[in-house]
Amino acid sequence: MEMKQLQGKTALITGASRGIGYAIARQFAAAGADIVFTHLSSDEQGQTSAEALRAFGGKVSVYRSDAADFSAVEVLMQEVVREFGRLDVLVNNAGITRDNLLLRMDEQSWDAVIRVNLKSCFNTVKAATRVFLKQRSGVIINIASVVGIKGNAGQANYAASKAGIIGLTKSVALELGSRNIRSNAIAPGFIETAMTQDLAEASIQDWKQAIPLQRMGLPEDVAHCALFLASDTSSYITGQVIQVDGGVLT
């Protein structure tokens, strides 16, 4: 029988109580990984998602923990090592939006988005790298966005945070490639989750028209790419940004 792709591996995924993070956790759990995930939803939502992941048979731990809080992430990493004894894959997925046109954007909205989307990646990458160096291997997957490549009116803070993630991803790939640590980003297009469901119907229609594959993406579309990047199938791929966007940005 063929071994499952992530059998014996431990993955830490930020922001995985729902949406894209949860879909990634499901794919990884189905591929045999033990899962640690964080979130800032309700405890109940976190536990429900954790329970569903346990059905795949692996170990699952859930922490209600702010990925943007540097010391909280350090504590989290100690917990992961204590409980699982290892870490193989880090997925930085936690993210928020605070959309507004630049002229109306307040300082709090700017700071909050940069903090949660970008600084969180610095926190987790730094903490995980210590473990990866000891193990002499590791995989980092950062969830960016096509908006971080092309920009988007009304999302200057979000686009800047996602462009920042791409810069971080590539720098880490350059710094740590010689240590057998791979670092890649996924840039999703327009994916059906809570984050996009509040958009005006007209705006959704505009988006859809611009997508060559003529549909919005599903969280699973992103998760399949994450599984590929997490597994040894992608062992010669680092420093890349892979668009999962139905062709919307070519």
Instruction: Specify whether 158 is catalytic.
Output: yes
CB of 116 to ligand NAI, least distance (A): 4
Instruction: Dump the DSSP string for 166-225.
Output: HHHHHHHHHHHGGGTEEEEEEEE-SB-SHHHHTS-HHHHHHHHHT-TT-S-B-HHHHHHH
Per CB under 6 A, 20 contacts ligand NAI: yes
> What residues from 187 to 226 belong to the interface with ligand NAI (CB under 6 A)?
188, 190-191, 193-196
C-alpha angle 134/179/114, rounded to 5°? 90
Instruction: Dump the DSSP string for 115-166.
Output: IIIIIHHHHHHHHHHHHHHHHT-EEEEEE--THHHH--TTBHHHHHHHHHHH
Catalytic residue among 22, 63, 158, 236: 158
Stretch that binds ligand NAI, among 39-47, 53-61, 129-137, 205-213 (CB under 6 A): 39-47
| Structure-token pair, residue 153 | 């009116």
Per CB under 6 A, 124 contacts ligand NAI: no
Q: Which is nearer to ligand NAI, 114 or 133 (CB)?
A: 114
Residues 122/113, Cβ–Cβ less than 8 Å: no
> What residues from 49 to 88 belong to the interface with ligand NAI (CB under 6 A)?
66-68
The CA–CA distances, whole Å, from 134 to 79, 130, 172, 198, 248 equal 16, 7, 17, 44, 40
Stretch that binds ligand NAI, among 73-81, 91-99, 199-207, 224-232 (CB under 6 A): 91-99
Helix (H, G, I), strand (E, B) or coil at 55: coil
Identified binder of ligand NAI from the candidate list 5, 10, 13, 21, rule CB under 6 A: 21
Per CB under 6 A, 38 contacts ligand NAI: yes
Rounded Cα distance between 198 and 127, Å, is 34
Identified binder of ligand NAI from the candidate list 145, 184, 231, 243, rule CB under 6 A: 145
Per CB under 6 A, 243 contacts ligand NAI: no
Rounded Cα distance between 168 and 121, Å, is 8
CB of 74 to ligand NAI, least distance (A): 14
Rounded Cα distance between 80 and 132, Å, is 13
Per CB under 6 A, 19 contacts ligand NAI: yes
Q: Which is nearer to ligand NAI, 10 or 124 (CB)?
A: 124
| Residues engaged in binding ligand NAI (CB under 6 A) | 14-21, 38-41, 66-68, 93-96, 116, 143, 145, 188, 190-191, 193-196
Residues assigned a catalytic role = 158
